[in-house]
């Protein structure tokens, strides 16, 4: 087995303590550990300290307020998936949380960890030895100071590419964007909020718009009083464990059978989720078979998966079209 090299772990009990520890250069957050620990075993990162959040109770829990759901970053994916409030007010979020990995992993993994999940690429998520054999790449070269990689500026997915296209692979993120969620972010100097969609930038090396020392406190999902249909779909090869190979979150708000709002957010393309432009086609129309076909075509036209995660990009694109169409057909049947 690959041993985890020794790294100091700090265990703060309050948010303030956690934020001050995180302000130290090179400090990283350890929440559920299901993403960072396998990555560290493979030499992806070399934090000076791991700031464990397991004793910071303030980060955990689902609450319901006037504005909607508020979910702490430290809430486990199992808690998100099984929460009655989440299932009632944001069923597609519960669906996405439940589709992550396996039950044991969901018992450990947190919503914050999933929102901040590192991007993935079949040329990066390998051992230090494996990446070293190829000389590294745009993303991996900077992640391990002990490795001396020859090809730090190379992209193996897009030859000649200068921007890393490692894929956002978090199941909950497309859903949260589709539901207009906002992120609560804190640092030692204060707290601010931003639309979740703005948390991501188009760079696979570091796709989070977080400054060093900043931490996600939680997400807020606004409520919707009227009729809404929503769903999360993902393609993966096995029925469990696997990361999504392509994914889509769908949300449709209806008034008297006509769409007043439509969102289609696609994951696992590049470093950030893609919002497919569907409003022009969808608004004012009923949720029906014809719309399902049209929106699936739109998604297919606007989304081009890359060879950054396993399985042929062409088939992943095909699967996106099928999954979107079938999801809307199913939602239309519900309506």
The distance of closest approach from Cβ of residue 127 to another protein in the complex, given in angstroms and rounded to an integer, is 5
Closest C-alpha to 268, from 245, 238, 292: 245
| Distance from the Cα of residue 175 to its chain's centroid | 9
Q: Is 8 in the site for another protein (CB under 8 A)?
A: no
Nearer to another protein, 54 or 122 (CB): 122
Q: Is 146 in the site for another protein (CB under 8 A)?
A: yes
Nearer to another protein, 120 or 274 (CB): 120
Q: Is 280 in the site for another protein (CB under 8 A)?
A: no
Q: First CA to last CA across the chain, in angstroms?
A: 51
Q: Is 158 in the site for another protein (CB under 8 A)?
A: no
Q: Strand (E) positions, the chain?
A: 9-10, 27-30, 49-52, 62-64, 68-72, 182-187, 190-195, 215-222, 227-235, 246-255, 258-267, 274-275
Q: Is 45 in the site for another protein (CB under 8 A)?
A: no
Interaction pattern, residues 241-260, with another protein; x per rule: CB under 8 A:
xxx-----------------
Query: Quick one: which segment of 66-74, 181-189, 287-295, 312-320 binds another protein (CB under 8 A)?
Result: 312-320
**Residue 317 to residue 325: CA distance in whole angstroms:** 13
Closest C-alpha to 334, from 175, 205, 228: 228
Interaction pattern, residues 220-239, with another protein; x per rule: CB under 8 A:
---------------x-xxx
Q: What separation in angstroms does the CA of 110 have from each of 23, 73, 241? A: 21, 7, 16
- Give the binding site for another protein (CB under 8 A): 1-3, 5-6, 102, 122, 125-127, 129-130, 132-134, 146, 235, 237-243, 310-312, 314-315, 318-319, 322
């Amino acid at each position: 087995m690959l041993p985890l090299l020794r790294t100091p772990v700090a265990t703060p009990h309050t948010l303030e303590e956690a934020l001050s520890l995180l302000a130290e250069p090179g400090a990283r957050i350890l929440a559920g550990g299901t993403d960072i620990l396998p990555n560290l075993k493979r030499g992806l990162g070399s934090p000076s300290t791991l700031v464990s959040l397991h004793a910071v109770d303030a980060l955990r829990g689902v609450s319901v307020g006037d504005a909607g759901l508020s979910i702490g970053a430290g809430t486990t994916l199992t808690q998100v998936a099984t929460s009655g409030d989440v299932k009632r007010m944001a069923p597609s979020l519960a669906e996405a949380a439940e589709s992550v990995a396996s039950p044991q992993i969901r018992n450990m993994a947190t919503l914050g960890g999933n929102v901040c999940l590192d991007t993935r690429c079949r040329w990066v998520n390998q051992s230090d030895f494996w990446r070293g054999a190829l000389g590294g790449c745009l993303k991996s070269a900077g992640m391990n100071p002990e490795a001396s990689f020859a090809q730090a500026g190379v992209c193996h997915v897009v030859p000649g590419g200068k921007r890393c296209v490692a894929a956002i692979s978090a199941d909950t993120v497309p859903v949260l964007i589709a539901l207009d969620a906002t992120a609560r972010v804190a640092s030692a100097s204060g707290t601010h909020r931003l639309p979740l969609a703005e948390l991501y930038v188009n760079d696979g090396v570091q796709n989070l718009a977080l400054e060093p020392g900043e931490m996600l406190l939680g997400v807020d999902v606004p409520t919707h009083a009227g009729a809404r249909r929503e769903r999360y779909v993902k393609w993966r090869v096995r029925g469990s464990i696997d990361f999504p190979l392509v994914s889509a979150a769908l949300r449709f708000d209806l008034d008297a059978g006509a769409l007043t709002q439509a969102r289609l957010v696609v994951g696992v393309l590049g470093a950030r989720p893609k919002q497919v432009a569907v409003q022009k086609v969808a608004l004012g129309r009923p949720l029906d078979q014809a719309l399902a076909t049209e929106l699936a075509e739109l998604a297919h036209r606007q989304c081009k998966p890359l060879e950054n995660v396993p399985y042929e990009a062409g088939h992943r694109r095909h699967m996106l079209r099928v999954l979107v169409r079938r999801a809307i057909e199913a939602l239309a049947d519900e309506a």
